[in-house]
Amino acid sequence: MKNQLIVKILNNIADILELQEVPFKPIAYRRAAQSIESLSEDIADVYERGELEEISGVGRNIAEKIAEIIETGKLKYYERLKREIKIDVEGLNNIPNLGPKKIKALYNILRVKNVEDLEKALREQKVRRLPGFGEKTELLLLQGIEALQKRPSRFLYLHAIPIVEMVKKNLARYDFVKRVEVAGSYRRGKETVGDLDFLVVSSQPAMVMDVFTKMKDVTEVLAKGGTKSSIRLSNGMQVDLRVVQENEFGSALLYFIGSKEHNIELRKIALKKGLTLSEYGLFSLKTKKKIAGKSQEEVYQKLGLRFIEPELRENKGEIYAARQGKLPTLVTAKDIKGVFHNHTTWSDGHNSHLEMAQKAEELGFKFMSFNDHFGHVGITNQLTEKRLGKYLQEIEKVQKKVGIRVFNGVEIDILKDGSLPLSASKLSKLDVVIASVHVALTMKEKEMTKRVCHALNKYPINILGHPFDRILQEREAIALNLDKVFETAQKHNIFLEANSSPKRMDLPGESIKAGLEAGCKFALSTDAHHLSHLPYYFLGVNMARRGWLEQKHLLNCWSLGKIEKALQK
């Protein structure tokens, strides 16, 4: 959907033209932008119908420009203006409370060309002296720049949860709100979300718009129209909301859950059947009659497909599987009988073995495994051969005090040369051996792959821990040839980890799917360092579902007897 992009470009053009003191034109561009802002449908659809010029304020000239943006995602005229003006209007316009008049004054008097210049001028307290600015504006602009710099481009799934709950709660308490559902990447269980997308059924859209844009935590209203609005919250998260009719709720959900790639495929299938699919419903091309739209199930059915779970909707083979009746029966949180990879005060965790095990029992698990760090100097309080005996005794004691099976084990470092700091014979006596890369992360792909595969080939390992070793928003994944790693793990019956730690989410769903296709099996872990981390195992379930996993592929779903057998080394 390019409406927002087009609005932004048209407004930026207006600003540039105003800075260049071109008469009248800025007003025309702004008027067009305003109409598009309040458009209740995708402008691409208007364009396809050849009706751009029917939008109020859009004449031949602007219509051509809009068409160019829809077709190419860019506008040559705009690019040229940007080059001419030498002022980064786009960047400056992102700062709240800064409009074209102020940008002009800043340039004319202080030669401010971009956000960097502005920040410098603000810090040197030069801005307050400009006519129409003052100390208060200076502070506001500085705060705006700081907020922009802090704003992450994507959010951890875990951090999106309270926002989703907050929006739902704020809306659901009104009688005129019949239904609220979250869609988008969040609904597909993606590891991170760009923004949140909500759908609401209501016969009073204007009231919904008011309530939504006036929620307590809203710092900026990005757009407010008759049936859709976008806001920004204090943490920088953008939330889009759209009101639809009950009889189009299914097709609207389908559209806004996405992914875009999945939607495009569905539209193609519709066309082949002489139908057309949009967020408003599934229609006959010939008679224009509506065929489905109330529920997602109905739309899929009319397209000749089984219902596809949102986590699978990435156009990665799910549509073919749905047509063949071969969709996987995805694992659910209820199927998880226990979790691997938990840390305690014996290494860098915050709780004792007993506290962790009791919490696991309280959560309804049937087993858990302890895998405190063993290895390399550098990890806080790591286990050593000398401490290992006492550590194992402690776990044995805890086993007698709780009603769940407690597996012992370690998370051992894969050293630079692919060796592990404990012998194979000693490792084979432990219940669960997880091997992970924690140090020397910058190796080239070939070397790193050799290192990991060497460990998998030579040692009795049960689980390859967090294979990417990435920290979301902080550290990129290590360079690995996944095909080779998957092949080696599969050969030795080594499980690949689905690590549920919110900042790891490792392997992510799409790589789990690749591993599955290579014949690998998986183990879900919490990587908990505190008992409050244990409930986050559901994040791993999201990943497993996005990776097409069924119970038979995920060790955590098996019976204890089968798990013990699978862990034998």
Give me the residues that bind ligand DGT (CB under 6 A), please: 1, 184-185, 190, 193-195, 197, 255-256, 258-260, 263-264
**Nearest to ligand DGT of 195, 394 (CB atom):** 195
- Spatial separation of the C-alpha atoms in residues 541 and 266, rounded to whole Å: 26
Three-state SS letters, 81-105: HHHHHCCCHHHHHCCCCCCHHHHHH
Q: Nearest approach, Cβ of 187 to Ca ion (angstroms)?
A: 9
DSSP 8-class letter at 383: B
- Spatial separation of the C-alpha atoms in residues 182 and 253, rounded to whole Å: 9
Provide the angle, in degrees to the nearest 10, between the axes of the packed helices 249-257 and 260-272: 130
Largest CA distance in the chain: 84
Count of C-beta atoms within a 10 Å radius of residue 316: 18
Say which entry of Zn ion, Ca ion, ligand DGT, none residue 418 contacts (CB below 5 to 8 A, set by partner kind).
none
Which residue's Cβ lies closest to ligand DGT?
Answer: 258
Site membership for Ca ion, residue 314 (CB under 5 A): no
Site map 230..269 versus Ca ion, x via CB under 5 A = ----------x-----------------------------
Three-state SS letters, 11-60: HHHHHHHHHCCCCCHHHHHHHHHHHHHCCCCCHHHHHHCCCHHHCCCCCH
**Nearest to ligand DGT of 255, 486 (CB atom):** 255
**Nearest to ligand DGT of 113, 190 (CB atom):** 190
Q: Nearest approach, Cβ of 372 to Zn ion (angstroms)?
A: 10
**Nearest to Ca ion of 197, 527 (CB atom):** 197
Instruction: Determine the size of the site formed for Zn ion (CB under 5 A).
Output: 1
The Cβ-side half-sphere exposure at 232, using a 13 Å CA radius, reads 18
Say which entry of Ca ion, Zn ion, ligand DGT, none residue 382 contacts (CB below 5 to 8 A, set by partner kind).
none
Q: Nearest approach, Cβ of 504 to Zn ion (angstroms)?
A: 8
Q: Nearest approach, Cβ of 352 to ligand DGT (angstroms)?
A: 39
Q: Nearest approach, Cβ of 174 to ligand DGT (angstroms)?
A: 24
Q: Nearest approach, Cβ of 417 to ligand DGT (angstroms)?
A: 40
Binding window for Zn ion (CB under 5 A); candidates: 264-272, 429-437, 510-518, 548-556:
429-437
Say which entry of Zn ion, Ca ion, ligand DGT, none residue 436 contacts (CB below 5 to 8 A, set by partner kind).
Zn ion
Residues 173-202 touching Ca ion, rule: CB under 5 A, are: 184-185, 195, 197
Considering only residues 202, 436, 449, 488, which one is a binding residue for Zn ion as defined by CB under 5 A? 436
Identify the residue whose tokens are 């086993």. 399
- Spatial separation of the C-alpha atoms in residues 518 and 203, rounded to whole Å: 50
Site membership for Zn ion, residue 525 (CB under 5 A): no
Q: Nearest approach, Cβ of 177 to Ca ion (angstroms)?
A: 20
Q: Nearest approach, Cβ of 493 to ligand DGT (angstroms)?
A: 35
**Nearest to ligand DGT of 223, 379 (CB atom):** 223
Question: Nearest-5° angle of CA 558, CA 560, CA 563?
Answer: 65
**377 — alpha (psi -120 to 50), left (phi > 0) or beta?**
beta
Say which entry of Ca ion, Zn ion, ligand DGT, none residue 258 contacts (CB below 5 to 8 A, set by partner kind).
ligand DGT
Q: Nearest approach, Cβ of 539 to ligand DGT (angstroms)?
A: 16
Q: Nearest approach, Cβ of 537 to ligand DGT (angstroms)?
A: 22
Instruction: Determine the size of the site formed for Ca ion (CB under 5 A).
Output: 5
Name the nearest CA neighbour of 152 among 247, 40, 24, 238: 238
Measured on CA atoms in the order 285, 290, 291, 292, is the torsion positive or negative?
Answer: positive
Say which entry of Ca ion, Zn ion, ligand DGT, none residue 263 contacts (CB below 5 to 8 A, set by partner kind).
ligand DGT
**Nearest to ligand DGT of 251, 556 (CB atom):** 251
**Nearest to Zn ion of 230, 436 (CB atom):** 436
Site membership for Ca ion, residue 564 (CB under 5 A): no
Angstrom distances, CA of residue 345 to CA of 348, 353, 365, 412, 511: 6, 8, 21, 16, 32
**Nearest to Zn ion of 92, 412 (CB atom):** 412
Q: Identify the bridge partners of residue 497 per DSSP, sorted by sequence position.
A: 523
Both tokens assigned to 550: 């069924």
Q: Nearest approach, Cβ of 537 to Ca ion (angstroms)?
A: 24
Site membership for Zn ion, residue 382 (CB under 5 A): no
Q: Identify the bridge partners of residue 67 per DSSP, sorted by sequence position.
A: none
Site membership for Zn ion, residue 351 (CB under 5 A): no
Q: Nearest approach, Cβ of 115 to ligand DGT (angstroms)?
A: 24
Residues 415-454 touching Ca ion, rule: CB under 5 A, are: none
164 burial type by CB count under 10 A (0-12 exposed, 13-18 middle, 19+ buried): middle
Site membership for Ca ion, residue 394 (CB under 5 A): no
**Nearest to Ca ion of 242, 533 (CB atom):** 242
**Nearest to ligand DGT of 57, 194 (CB atom):** 194
- Spatial separation of the C-alpha atoms in residues 334 and 538, rounded to whole Å: 10
DSSP character string of 509-564:
HHHHHHHHHTT--EEEEEEESSGGGGGGHHHHHHHHHHTT--GGGBGGGS-HHHHH
Site membership for Zn ion, residue 526 (CB under 5 A): no
Question: Nearest-5° angle of CA 160, CA 162, CA 168?
Answer: 100
DSSP 8-class letter at 325: T
Q: Identify the bridge partners of residue 62 per DSSP, sorted by sequence position.
A: none
Identify the residue whose tokens are 């971009």. 114
For Zn ion, the binding residues (CB under 5 A) are: 436
For Ca ion, the binding residues (CB under 5 A) are: 184-185, 195, 197, 240
